[in-house]
Amino acid sequence: MSRAVRLLDLVQLLRRRRHPVRGEVLARELGISLRTLYRDIASLQAQGAPIEGEPGLGYVLRPGFTLPPLMFNEDEVEALMLGSHWVSENSDPRLAQAAMDVAAKVAAVLPPDKRELFDNPGLLIVRRGSGANDNLAPIREAIRKERKLKIDYNDVGRSPSSRAIWPFAVGFFEQARVVAAWCELRQDYRHFRIDRIVRLTETDIRYPKRRAVLLKDWRKQMGIASR
């Protein structure tokens, strides 16, 4: 591995972390010595990379740092292709189109040998779930804007109810799409299958907590580790 590639890999490792990561961990993942890692970090800092930290405490890359376009390896190309095709088959039309636009932009800058992976993929999406739902797009919009939604909902026993919810995440399962939200009726977190929402009304009312706070609280309650 050339030093230039190693430096780019180091930046990528730091970008994946939201919290400081110890030098020993980075060195192990890169397959280099701790002394070499320290030299690489110093080199990146000298070139303007906003890496904060010090030996023994860990390192973190400040948000907002960008790199010029990188060349993708075969695994990365297949991951992008598979992810974009999955979204195009399993989301609402607007998000599906965005996924295919991303795939087209990536394909446009690939060399011929990598482009072959896009044109003739070896990994295929087999659509078995319920697919797109008309309610998915407004739910995504409400999540982005942190807005309340009013819904009429049928539970598993087909019992109807009307709810005011604070949506903060959507889970994509094989057979269903589920919105995680704070339910004002139950005063607790609840999960609603989107295909059981019979009526949805968008509002301009911002819910009182930030989405990130709700998500963190929900993860803690569900016993899901934060990334």
Take residue 164 and report the two structure tokens written for it: 């005011």
Place of tokens 């591995």: 1
* CATH number for 32: 1.10.10.10
CA–CA distance, 210 with 198 (Å, rounded to integer):
27
Q: How confident is the model at residue 47 (pLDDT cuts 50, 70, 90)?
A: confident
Same domain? 100 vs 56: no
- Find, among 55, 28, 39, 49, the residue nearest to 3 by Cα: 39
- Write down the pLDDT at residue 187: 96
Same domain? 200 vs 162: yes
Q: Is residue 130 part of a domain?
A: no
State pLDDT tens for residues 81-94.
888 888 888 888 88
Q: How confident is the model at residue 71 (pLDDT cuts 50, 70, 90)?
A: low
Tally of structural domains, the chain = 3
Same domain? 106 vs 157: no
State pLDDT tens for residues 128-156.
555 556 788 899 999 999 999 999 999 98
Q: Residue 98, by phi and psi: left (phi above 0), alpha (psi -120 to 50) or beta?
A: alpha
Q: Is residue 107 part of a domain?
A: yes
pTM above 0.75, yes or no: no
> Is a pLDDT exceeding 60 seen at residue 67?
no
Which residues lie closer than 8 Å to 14 by C-beta, 6 or more apart? 21, 26, 51, 59, 60, 61
Q: Is residue 66 part of a domain?
A: no
Q: Is residue 22 part of a domain?
A: yes
- Find, among 177, 141, 165, the residue nearest to 218 by Cα: 165
Q: Structural domain of residue 42, as residue ranges?
A: 3-61
